[in-house]
Chain A
Amino acid sequence: MGEASAPPTGNLWYRIDHALRPWRRANPMARWLVIIGLLITGLFAFLALFPNLVAPYGESQYQYVVGGTEDPEDLDVRCGTEAECEQVPRRIEPSKGFPFGTTAARFDVFSRVVHGARVAFSIVLLSTALAMGIGVPLGLFSGYRGGKLDRVLVTLMDAVYVIPPLLLAIIVAFVLQAYFDPGLASAAVAVGVVYVPQYYRVIRNHTLSVKEEPFVEAARSMGAKPRTIITRYVFFNVVQSVPVIFTLNAADAVLTLAGLGFLGYGVPFPRAEWGLDVSQALSDVVSGFWWTAFFPGLATMLLVAGLTLVGEGLNDIVNPLLRVRGFRGRVARRALPAASGAAASEPGPAPSEGTDTSTPGGIR
């Protein structure tokens, strides 16, 4: 038989176990980063999925039924028919009825923030899916093929990359406005185009290095076609960097979207979008109505922070160079009476008793 005892084989469990290995080997710090980031992101994801469970009002609702109701879905329908309605008061400070206060346009800031999560998530997901869908295959192909096509693509992508993201997004949004009605989709495209070069560059460079691995040449020597090599040998070894770029880009996309909204090129009013809300609240700030801009801004910042934490943590986990940190070795004492006896009979320095936990100053 072979050189070592064979490892245990399961089937599905073994594969899951294999997939989770980097996580278990990662240092505790990186794991905490990911966990905290996931908690924050998860909170926003929940808001995005079920805004109506949390928000007392709709995203563009300026009236409410007097006496209140448990079901905000029905409010718009009932108001103005037989129910007795009252307008949301203007610019109320955060209070019991309106925890984040209200705006000049008679919106509840809390509800706007909650609904804004949905817009932010849909656009971030759509745009990164778009960027990934274009950037990853293009990077793989260009990196593996090399040659002229690769050079042209690299130059093209670099040209796109040097344009500041927000400016590029504005230009794309501007062009799109000429052909389509502004909405979620066009905002997503505008944001997504910005990130194509990032996926392309990372995947291409990673492909270039994986291409030189002996197992790729081995695949060639087995008679595999380039397409087989790319999909079965290269792809699975470069795909690990995608989650890292994904989360980091998502964080950036939230900011770009907010920037677009702030400048008026994003999702059109009255959809709840944080950047838009901040820009609407600009005049409030100078008059001392701080809450209209503060809460959407805070939400943006929190979501960006959450996604960044996940991204940084994943980066630590995927990048094995940083894995070593966080685990400490401990020198075990040898439980052998004779061994220390022998050492004690030695002339010269004292045996190691008591020095076993010493960590010298140079190493930390």
Chain B
Amino acid sequence: MRRDRTNAPGVLDDVEVAPGEPLIEVEDLHTHFEVGGGLFSSSHASVRAVDGVSFDIRRGEIFGLVGESGSGKTTLGRTLLGLAPATSGAIRYRGLDLATLTEPEFRPLRRRLSMVFQDPNASLNPAMTIVQSVGHPLRIHGLTHNRAETRERVIDMLERCGLAPAERFLDTYPEDLSGGQKQRVVIARSLITEPDFVVADEPVAALDMSVRAKVLELMMDLKDDLGLTYLYITHDLASGKFVCDRMAIMYLGQMVEWGDASRIYDDPQHPYTRALLEAVPLPDPARRGRDKHLPHGEIPDALEPPRGCRFHPRCPVAFEPCGWEGRDLVDAIEDRWTKVDEDTFERELSLVGDLADAKVTRAEARFPAAEADALRRWLEEIGPALPAKVFRGVESVEQDGHEVVVRFGYGPEPAPQDIAGHTVACHLHGVVPREGGIHAGPVRGSGSETGSGSARERGV
């Protein structure tokens, strides 16, 4: 062990953080998971669940992390608490870099950093009574010395969490409680060791809407009473608006827009944020039949995220520099085929051949074709008419023997910029390449040669 374990809490008490000062500072954090490498594949691919994220959480605030499933928001929360190992980067908490701690070194810190899970039905041990569950953290950290003391603390905490009289719940099992009651128990368990930072991972998503408000209210009251700082992870922009002081919108492991919550809601700058806000259903019948500008498709696989801006294949306002690449063209042609009649489809399919045979890289797409000339002319003709704006990124369509080569221009990954009082990573506000990003098109500057962009590992 590299560090003296007993030393850690001592360090913590020395570092006093005033309200409003950063309690957690995250710098270029990456969390990658190795996948594959099994029996049949020799290569180790990695899912970039969190891919270069920097932000800070100030003491006493509620910081929201909003995104779809697959955006890496839960992994980010788990990484902050050492439940998922950070691949690189730093997490500073009261002068300590949490990313470098080993599991045993982290353990004593866990009374100060706790977590509320999404599904209260699954996050309580069904074989433990409520008093055992809620009291266990106290025993683990040696904060109480006998059963009566533990019981007293548990009663106190349960009543604070709205389970009064607590005696009626102490010796029951979780299955006898309703969903809302269970979540109160989970909250009580996470707060009983007097933490100062709580990660709440979708704390109300699994609850009935009739009790969501109650639980959110409780969490906000407890925050004020106990001086807590929350990281509030959610896919629900509506509750995020009500709860958060500052927030970040995540997409495919990166933050696309972050800053003051009210500013983001009032004046969203990133097309993804706008799309999310647009898509949230509101209980207002007047909105029925309104024109929604929905992004097409779904969040892609984080194994090989799109180059350039990661949102560009779905973005309704994408333009030339957004990072168009070979597979976007393949997808756009496929998409075209859902809209043409069957004869056209058969004719075009015979022209293009099996799309799986096309060789796509970050800079070009090569289509092997029997009639390369006809294919080139067809591509030039339908390309600009494709609904996806992929042809805006095309520099040239050429014949190369029996292949047609479509070359793409430079499409850098956008760097964060300060717009309208918050931070946005989008080319609409000026094309600024992000250092070390996965850029599309011909190699320029610091971008690396390989498609999957291992240069990201170097960090900023």
Q: Do chains A and B touch in the complex (CB under 8 A)?
A: yes
When C-beta atoms are compared, the residue in chain B nearest to A7 turns out to be: B176
Residue contact A3 to B181, C-beta cutoff 8 Å: yes
> Chain A 213-238 against B: per-residue CB contact (8 Å), 1 yes, 0 no?
11101111111110010001100110
Residue contact B178 to A237, C-beta cutoff 8 Å: no
B83 at the interface (CB under 8 A from A): yes
* Separation of A18 and B171 alpha carbons in the complex (Å): 11
A1 at the interface (CB under 8 A from B): yes
B359 at the interface (CB under 8 A from A): no
Which among B136, B140, B168, B180 is the interface contact of A6 at CB below 8 angstroms?
Answer: B168
Residue contact A9 to B172, C-beta cutoff 8 Å: yes
A50 at the interface (CB under 8 A from B): no
Which among A2, A214, A220, A233 is the interface contact of B184 at CB below 8 angstroms?
Answer: A2
Residues of A within 8 A of B164 (CB): 1
* Known contacts A4-B178, A214-B122; A14 and B140 CB within 8 A of each other: no
A358 at the interface (CB under 8 A from B): no
* Separation of A215 and B107 alpha carbons in the complex (Å): 17
Residue contact A9 to B117, C-beta cutoff 8 Å: no
* Known contacts A3-B211, A14-B171; A215 and B83 CB within 8 A of each other: no
* Separation of A224 and B108 alpha carbons in the complex (Å): 10
* Known contacts A2-B180, A224-B140; A9 and B122 CB within 8 A of each other: no
Residue contact A218 to B181, C-beta cutoff 8 Å: no
Residue contact B137 to A222, C-beta cutoff 8 Å: yes
Residue contact A214 to B189, C-beta cutoff 8 Å: no
When C-beta atoms are compared, the residue in chain A nearest to B141 turns out to be: A223
Which among A3, A9, A237 is the interface contact of B127 at CB below 8 angstroms?
Answer: A237
Residues of B within 8 A of A215 (CB): 122-126
B356 to chain A, nearest CB (A): 35
* Separation of A3 and B83 alpha carbons in the complex (Å): 31
* Separation of A78 and B332 alpha carbons in the complex (Å): 102
Residues of A within 8 A of B110 (CB): 221-223
Residues of B within 8 A of A1 (CB): 162-164
A11 at the interface (CB under 8 A from B): yes
When C-beta atoms are compared, the residue in chain A nearest to B162 turns out to be: A2
When C-beta atoms are compared, the residue in chain B nearest to A21 turns out to be: B175
* Separation of A9 and B171 alpha carbons in the complex (Å): 6
Residues of A within 8 A of B232 (CB): none
> Chain B 405-435 against A: per-residue CB contact (8 Å), 1 yes, 0 no?
0000000000000000000000000000000
Residues of B within 8 A of A2 (CB): 162-163, 177-178, 180-181, 184
Residue contact A223 to B126, C-beta cutoff 8 Å: no
Interface size classification for chain A: 20 to 34
Residue contact B140 to A223, C-beta cutoff 8 Å: yes
B90 to chain A, nearest CB (A): 21
When C-beta atoms are compared, the residue in chain A nearest to B129 turns out to be: A15
Residue contact B107 to A223, C-beta cutoff 8 Å: yes
Residue contact A9 to B179, C-beta cutoff 8 Å: no
Residues of B within 8 A of A8 (CB): 168
* Known contacts A2-B163, A7-B168; A223 and B214 CB within 8 A of each other: no
* Known contacts A2-B163, A215-B125, A237-B126; A232 and B136 CB within 8 A of each other: yes
Residues of A within 8 A of B81 (CB): 221
Residue contact A4 to B181, C-beta cutoff 8 Å: yes
Residues of B within 8 A of A213 (CB): 122
Residues of A within 8 A of B122 (CB): 213-215
When C-beta atoms are compared, the residue in chain A nearest to B169 turns out to be: A6
* Separation of A21 and B156 alpha carbons in the complex (Å): 30
B334 to chain A, nearest CB (A): 36
When C-beta atoms are compared, the residue in chain A nearest to B170 turns out to be: A9
Residue contact A214 to B123, C-beta cutoff 8 Å: yes
Which among B119, B167, B176, B179 is the interface contact of A3 at CB below 8 angstroms?
Answer: B179
Residue contact B178 to A217, C-beta cutoff 8 Å: no
Residue contact A232 to B176, C-beta cutoff 8 Å: no
Residue contact B125 to A9, C-beta cutoff 8 Å: no
* Known contacts A9-B172, A14-B172, A237-B126; A218 and B108 CB within 8 A of each other: no
B114 at the interface (CB under 8 A from A): yes
* Known contacts A3-B179, A3-B214, A223-B141; A218 and B172 CB within 8 A of each other: no
B333 at the interface (CB under 8 A from A): no
B256 at the interface (CB under 8 A from A): no
B173 at the interface (CB under 8 A from A): yes
B385 at the interface (CB under 8 A from A): no
When C-beta atoms are compared, the residue in chain A nearest to B122 turns out to be: A214
A4 to chain B, nearest CB (A): 4
Residues of B within 8 A of A225 (CB): 107, 140
* Separation of A69 and B294 alpha carbons in the complex (Å): 96
> Chain B 83-114 against A: per-residue CB contact (8 Å), 1 yes, 0 no?
10000000000000000000000011111001
When C-beta atoms are compared, the residue in chain B nearest to A18 turns out to be: B173
B145 to chain A, nearest CB (A): 17
When C-beta atoms are compared, the residue in chain A nearest to B132 turns out to be: A232
B374 to chain A, nearest CB (A): 54
Residue contact A236 to B127, C-beta cutoff 8 Å: yes
Residues of A within 8 A of B141 (CB): 223
Which among A9, A11, A219, A236 is the interface contact of B168 at CB below 8 angstroms?
Answer: A9
B233 to chain A, nearest CB (A): 14
When C-beta atoms are compared, the residue in chain A nearest to B179 turns out to be: A3
When C-beta atoms are compared, the residue in chain B nearest to A233 turns out to be: B125
Residue contact B114 to A9, C-beta cutoff 8 Å: no
| 5 A-B pairs with C-beta separation under 8 A | A2-B180, A7-B172, A8-B168, A221-B83, A222-B136
The 3 A-B pairs at the shortest CB distance, nearest first, are namely A223-B110, A236-B127, A3-B180
Further contacts, 20 of them, CB under 8 A, given A6-B163, A233-B127: A1-B164, A3-B178, A3-B179, A3-B180, A4-B178, A7-B168, A8-B168, A9-B168, A9-B170, A9-B171, A214-B118, A214-B119, A215-B126, A217-B123, A218-B117, A221-B115, A223-B111, A224-B140, A232-B128, A237-B127
Report which A residues bind B (CB closer than 8 A). Answer: 1-4, 6-11, 14-15, 18, 213-215, 217-225, 228, 232-233, 236-237
